[in-house]
Amino acid sequence: SAVISQKPSRDICQRGTSLTIQCQVDSQVTMMFWYRQQPGQSLTLIATANQGSEATYESGFVIDKFPISRPNLTFSTLTVSNMSPEDSSIYLCSVGGGPSYNEQFFGPGTRLTVL
């Protein structure tokens, strides 16, 4: 399986600020995704990070709030912009379409608390 790291692992931020989360995978993968897991809830797909082009966002998520970059096949960033306490969540990146094409693996997550 792919080895995925995320930075930071956790952060506490003030409302109105922005935080950029990094996701690094140890092998080239076709697809990278960003999910949100709100406290006690399930995971919700935010967007698909496309290499070399704009991300594809799910309903309810917009680029201005969650800009995403994917400069190459092993790295992506998610920015949570103009944060409010409602953005307090665990943010997870995942990868798929690699050597184990049908499998999707998740990073350890970034626990964000917004005060």
Q: Choose the binding region for another protein from 14-22, 66-74, 81-89, 102-110 (rule: CB under 8 A).
A: 102-110
Instruction: Give the C-alpha separation, 15 to 6, whole Å.
Output: 22
**What is the rounded distance in angstroms from the CA atom of residue 51 to the CA atom of residue 71?**
6
Q: Taking CB under 8 A as the criterion, which residues in 50-69 touch another protein?
A: 58
Q: Is 70 in the site for another protein (CB under 8 A)?
A: no
Length of the chain: 115
Residue whose CB is less far from another protein, 1 or 18 = 1
Q: What residues form DSSP beta bridges with 19? A: 80
The dihedral region occupied by 101, where left means phi > 0, alpha psi between -120 and 50, and beta the remainder, is: alpha
Residue 24 as a binder of another protein (CB under 8 A): the answer is no
Rule CB under 8 A: which residues touch another protein? 1, 30-31, 33, 41-45, 48, 58, 92, 94, 96-98, 100-109
